[in-house]
Amino acid sequence: MKYENYMNLEFPSKSANEAFARAAVASFAAQLDPNLDELGDIKTAVSEAVTNCIVHAYPDEIGTIVLKARILPGNVLDIVIKDKGCGIEDIAKAREPMFSTGGEERSGMGFTIMESFMHEVKVNSQRGKGTTVHMRRRIVRRGDKS
């Protein structure tokens, strides 16, 4: 698919980089002129995806997270967050609200939050090879009724 602009980042799965990922995507998305609610939704979805990599993909080690974002025709923000961690055994189960493999302190709402804040969320994973979360959100141009 053709894109109008793109960015690629790679960073270690350290918790400090969750805020970096949020800020980077927010800065990139700013060219679409999102309102504050849209920007907040995008930042939250990115935060959840990156946190999943940190907590679940690499529970006992520091690994690599790859974040890619593109601007697609029609004012669509396309985001891919990928790890090469342990993978997800059962994607359908992992997408259920309140399910978590991260212990009692985790809410198990990560995928549910991503799905509620983005227009499209796809998850692909292979045990031992990693997980890719692909999210899209159309930004409504100001004055556009659609």
Q: What percent of the chain has pLDDT over 90?
A: 73
Q: What CATH architecture applies to the domain 5-138?
A: 2-Layer Sandwich (3.30)
Catalytically active residues, by annotation = 48, 52, 106
Has residue 68 got a pLDDT over 60? yes
> Strand 76-83 vs strand 64-72: parallel, antiparallel, or unpaired?
antiparallel
Chain-centre distance for alpha carbon 31: 19
Using CA atoms, how far apart are residues 129 and 32, in angstroms rounded to an integer?
34
**pLDDT single digits (tens) 71-110:** 999 999 999 999 999 998 877 767 666 555 555 555 556 7
Kindly list the domain boundaries of the chain, sorted by start residue. Answer: 5-138
User: Looking at residues 51-59, what average pLDDT do you find?
Assistant: 92
Has residue 23 got a pLDDT over 80? yes
